[in-house]
Structure 1
Amino acid sequence: MKRLAIAVVLGLAATPALAFHCPADMAKIDAALAAGPTISEADLAKVKQLRADGEQFHAAGQHQQSVDTLAEAMRILGIN
C-alpha cells in the first residue's frame, strides 16, 4: 500500500513538471525560428508543424506527447 501511495505521488508530481517544460521548449523553438535557421524548406515546414502539434498536445493536457514532439523540432533545429 505504501508503494502504491509513493507511485501516485510521484506520478502526480511529474505531470506539472512536464506542463511547465512545454512552454519553455516552445519559446526556444520560436527564438530559433525568429533567428532564421539555415535548414531546408522541408525541415522548416516539419519544425513548424511539430511546434504547432506540440502546442496542441500541451493545451490538451497531453504533456509527454508535447515534450516528445517539441524535442523532435528542437533536434532538427540543433537546439540542446
Structure 2
Amino acid sequence: MIRHALAAALCLAAAPAFAFHCPADMQKIDAALAAGTSLSDADLSAVRELRAAGEAQHNAGDHDASVATLARAMEMLGIQ
C-alpha cells in the first residue's frame, strides 16, 4: 500500500516537470529567431505559427501536443 502511494506521489510530482519542457522549447525557438535565420519567408512564417500554436497548447494544458508542435518548429530551425 505504501509503495502504491509513493509511486502515485512520484508521478504527480513529475507532472510539472513535463509542463516546464514547453517553455524551454519556446525559449530556444525565440533565441533562434532573434539570432536570425536563413529560412524563407514562408518557412519563417510557418515556424512562428507553430511556435504560437505550441504556446496555446501549453497554456491549454495539452503538453504532449505542445511538445510535438514545438519540436516541428525546432526541426525547421535546425535546433536539436
Consecutive unaligned residues in structure 2, runs of 5 or more: none
Query: TM-score by structure 1 length?
Result: 0.83
- Counterpart in the other structure of 1:23: 23
Task: Name the % identity.
Answer: 63
Deviations 1:19-66 (Å, cap 9, x if unpaired)? 110000000000000011111111100000000000000000000000
Q: Could you say what the CA RMSD is over the residues aligned between the two structures, in angstroms? A: 1.9
- Kindly indicate whether the alpha-carbon contact (under 8 Å) linking 1:18 and 1:67 is maintained by their aligned counterparts in 2: no
- Count of matched residue pairs: 79
- Counterpart in the other structure of 1:56: 56
Moved >6 Å (runs of 4+): none
- Kindly indicate whether the alpha-carbon contact (under 8 Å) linking 1:54 and 1:66 is maintained by their aligned counterparts in 2: yes
Deviation at 1:68, TM superposition (A): 0.4
Query: Matched residues in 1 for 2:63 and 2:12: separation?
Result: 12
Query: Matched residues in 1 for 2:64 and 2:9: separation?
Result: 17
Consecutive unaligned residues in structure 1, runs of 5 or more: none
